[in-house]
Amino acid sequence: MIEPRPLTRWLILGTVGLVFLVPIVAMGEFTLRRGLEGGYDFSRWIAVFSGGLTGEYKGVLTALGNSVVLATVTVAVMLVILVPTMILVQLRFPYLRRAMEFLCLLPITIPAIVLVVGLAPVYSVVAKMFGSGVWTLSFAYGVIVLPYAYRAIQANLAAIDVITLSEAARSLGAGWLTVLVRVLLPNLRHGILSASFISVAVVLGEYTIAALLNRVNLQTALVIVSKSDPFVAVIFALLALIFAFLLLLAIGRIGAPRIKRSLTGASS
Amino acid sequence: MNGSTSRRAAFTVPSFFGLVPFAAYILLFLGLPTAIALFTGFLDGTGSFSLTNIEALADPVILSTFGNSIGLSALTAVIGSVVGAACCYALIGTNPTGLLRSVVDSASGVLAQFGGVMLAFAFVATIGIQGMVTVYLRDSLGINIFANGVWLYELPGLVLPYIYFQVPLMIITFLPALEGLKPQWAEANASLGGSRATYWWRIGIPVLTPSFLGCLLLLFANAFSSFATAAALTSQGSQIVPLQIRSALTSETVLGRENLAGALALGMIVVMVVVMTLYSLLMKRSAKWQR
């Protein structure tokens, strides 16, 4: 009754799908072009991957390294600060759940470009305390991944009975550390894995904060490279998009809660 | 006092301190930056209170920038939500864990949330001066899409890339609402002699309208706060508010004012708060049917 007729379904999905494929195909076509004489080959891809580590693309690879560091530290910040707090709120402070949700979803309302206006002075202090290493940016990234990570973990938390699990463990004589590490974290692994993957994807795609705080990450490097060698920028962008796609596909496949759709779907 | 209550009391004090790291982190990296962003707009160059920057929001240049931002966001939100809703409709009844849905979900997630700069590159490769579509149209059909000048790197050029991330966001946010449609309603409609059209006009559309409008607002907010795509695409000028904030941050000569970035940030936040408040009201309304 409410399902569309097969013809309607495939007409809509086919048309939109094809149109949305065009820019991706165009990126591929763009990178395969052979200079002025026309035709296609893989020379640009070969150039990037053969001489890449030392050659002229070293800058992009360094930036990619920076982004990997940022992604790792951001996931660590999230695991160390967000996950224990969410468990604690679930167990001990159920009346703080709404407040916690509000705080964690707040970064959706505050655009990164607004946040960066206030982050600039904060980071001049951070640089004095921790140096100006690129990893310090992870503190800001921890905030922008908050809504995504929160939704992923909360969906998992809601699906398991944290209170019964922890009381069962404690009545068997487990200390709180044992409860956390051996009982709760294994039960939350899907949520935590999804949260980590989605955080990695967010950090790899982040441009705004890095650009305006004058840090180098993958996206800022790509913008700079695109001015001199647009082909290389498009190659890396295509690879990054495919990588993010595979990350998200993996989240769906590990049978985790469907975080992407619940991110903004049911916030009431 | 027996053993268990005293142990509980001993457990409560340290557990309260367990909230401190998160609270401190949020305060330092979300609360403080937001507060600074909001209040620097009220300071002049010497750090004393002043309303001159706030008054600058009424400057014709700034007003037209806000107008551009709001127009671009509204246009792409409307197109994105209609096309996205059509896709959601087409996805009704597909297996939520099947291959099609996995691919649609993941692709939508990538394009809606992580594209940014890379989408700008995609459109340069597609409809840039040497883009695939541009070249094809020019060489095969004799159509020059840039006959009246190259518009890709200016405001009109943002429309297509923005739609490219708005439609996937609509799919991500609107699909759960469609899945909330209960099969019983369709059965009730059928047993009362209603047709497919009756179902949609009398049940589906009325139930889904709040969700649809909520998602439309979310798309608006998404486009309004988006920066990376525009920053990578437009080389000159600051046609939308986020780009204006960038030039205010990187040079101090926008309209000859300091701290203008703060005033612009305040203006953006005001728009975002209005939009997101309406969004959450609409979502509360739509949650009525999702129990």
At A54-95, the pLDDT tens digits run: 666 777 788 888 889 999 999 999 989 999 899 888 888 888
Which one is predicted more confidently, A43 or A137? A137
Q: Is residue B139 part of a domain?
A: yes
Could you tell me if B38 and B60 lie in one domain? no
- CA B55 – CA B290 distance, rounded (Å): 45
Q: Are B275 and B224 in contact (CB under 8 A)?
A: yes
pLDDT of residue B268 exceeding 80: yes
Could you tell me if B37 and B130 lie in one domain? no
Question: Do the chains contact at A226 and B284, CB–CB below 8 Å?
Answer: no
Number of domains in chain B: 2
Return the HEC string of B258-291: CCHHHHHHHHHHHHHHHHHHHHHHHHHHHHCCCC
**List of chain B residues whose C-beta atoms are within 8 Å of the C-beta of residue A80:** 21
pLDDT of residue B52 exceeding 50: yes
Could you tell me if B163 and B234 lie in one domain? yes
Could you tell me if B162 and B253 lie in one domain? yes
Is A65 in the B-facing interface, judged by CB distances under 8 Å? Answer: no
Could you tell me if B233 and B127 lie in one domain? yes
Q: Is residue B15 part of a domain?
A: yes
Span A135-156, average pLDDT: 89
B109: nearest CA in chain A?
A260
Share of residues in chain A with pLDDT > 90 (%): 12
- Two structure tokens written together for B41: 């707009």
At A165-193, the pLDDT tens digits run: 888 988 898 888 888 888 888 888 888 88
Is A35 in the B-facing interface, judged by CB distances under 8 Å? Answer: no
- CA B225 – CA B142 distance, rounded (Å): 38
Using the structure block, give the residue that is written with the tokens 């953006």.
B268
Question: Do the chains contact at A207 and B232, CB–CB below 8 Å?
Answer: yes
The Cα of A229 is separated from the nearest Cα of chain B by a number of Å equal to 12
Could you tell me if B33 and B70 lie in one domain? no
Could you tell me if B83 and B223 lie in one domain? yes
Span A3-12, average pLDDT: 86
Which one is predicted more confidently, A142 or B115? A142
Compute the half-sphere exposure of residue A91: CA atoms within 13 Å on the CB side of its CA: 24
- CA B92 – CA B179 distance, rounded (Å): 7
Q: Is residue B161 part of a domain?
A: yes
Q: Cα B65 to chain center, whole Å?
A: 18
What's chain B's average pLDDT? 82
Using the structure block, give the residue that is written with the tokens 């996950």.
A83
Nearest to A86 by CA among B199, B22, B129, B112: B22
Task: Give ipTM to 2 decimals.
Answer: 0.81
Under the banding of pLDDT at 50, 70 and 90, the label for residue A41 is confident
Of residues A82, A143, A207, nearest to B30 (C-beta): A143
Q: Is residue B48 part of a domain?
A: no
Cα→Cα distances A221→A218, B6, B113, B148, B244, Å: 5, 58, 19, 32, 22
Could you tell me if B21 and B62 lie in one domain? no
Nearest to B221 by CA among B143, B160, B274: B274
Could you tell me if B170 and B145 lie in one domain? yes
Which one is predicted more confidently, B82 or A125? B82
The DSSP element (H or E) to which B126 belongs, if any, is helix B117-127
Could you tell me if B21 and B151 lie in one domain? no
Is B287 in the A-facing interface, judged by CB distances under 8 Å? Answer: yes
Domains within chain A, CATH numbers bracketed: 1-41 (no CATH), 55-265 (1.10.3720.10)
Under the banding of pLDDT at 50, 70 and 90, the label for residue B145 is confident
Is A21 in the B-facing interface, judged by CB distances under 8 Å? Answer: no
Q: Are B123 and B236 in contact (CB under 8 A)?
A: no
Span B85-94, average pLDDT: 88
Which one is predicted more confidently, A45 or B65? B65
**List of chain B residues whose C-beta atoms are within 8 Å of the C-beta of residue A87:** none
pLDDT of residue A31 exceeding 80: yes
- CA dihedral defined by A66, B164, A110, B102, rounded to 10 degrees? -70
What's chain A's average pLDDT? 83
Q: Is residue B47 part of a domain?
A: no
Helices (H) and strands (E) in chain A — how many of each?
Answer: 16, 0
Residues 18-77 of chain B whose Cβ lies under 8 A from any Cβ of chain A: 18-19, 21-22, 25-26, 28-30, 32-38, 40
Return the HEC string of B66-82: HHHHHHHHHHHHHHHHH
- In the three-class reduction of DSSP (H, G, I as helix; E, B as strand; rest coil), residue A33 is classed as strand
At B179-205, the pLDDT tens digits run: 778 888 888 888 898 888 888 888 888
Under the banding of pLDDT at 50, 70 and 90, the label for residue B258 is low
Span B75-86, average pLDDT: 94
Task: Give the structural domain span for B3.
Answer: 1-42
pLDDT for A161 equals 84
pLDDT for B9 equals 46
Could you tell me if B102 and B218 lie in one domain? yes
Under the banding of pLDDT at 50, 70 and 90, the label for residue A201 is confident
- CA A177 – CA B96 distance, rounded (Å): 37
- Altogether, the residues listed in chain B come to a count of 291
The CATH number for B243's domain is 1.10.3720.10
Nearest to A258 by CA among B116, B111, B86, B101: B101
Of residues A96, A113, A201, nearest to B225 (C-beta): A113
Under the banding of pLDDT at 50, 70 and 90, the label for residue A229 is confident
Cα angle A237-B117-A202, degrees, rounded to a multiple of 5: 85
- Two structure tokens written together for B141: 């059909």
The DSSP element (H or E) to which A62 belongs, if any, is helix A58-77
pLDDT for B236 equals 73
Angle between helices B132-140 and A6-32 (to 10 degrees): 90
pLDDT for A267 equals 35
Question: Do the chains contact at A27 and B261, CB–CB below 8 Å?
Answer: no
Q: Is residue B49 part of a domain?
A: no
Span A96-119, average pLDDT: 88
pLDDT for B291 equals 57
Q: Is residue B50 part of a domain?
A: no
Question: Do the chains contact at B29 and A122, CB–CB below 8 Å?
Answer: yes
Compute the half-sphere exposure of residue B147: CA atoms within 13 Å on the CB side of its CA: 6
- Two structure tokens written together for A45: 């891809």
Could you tell me if B123 and B25 lie in one domain? no
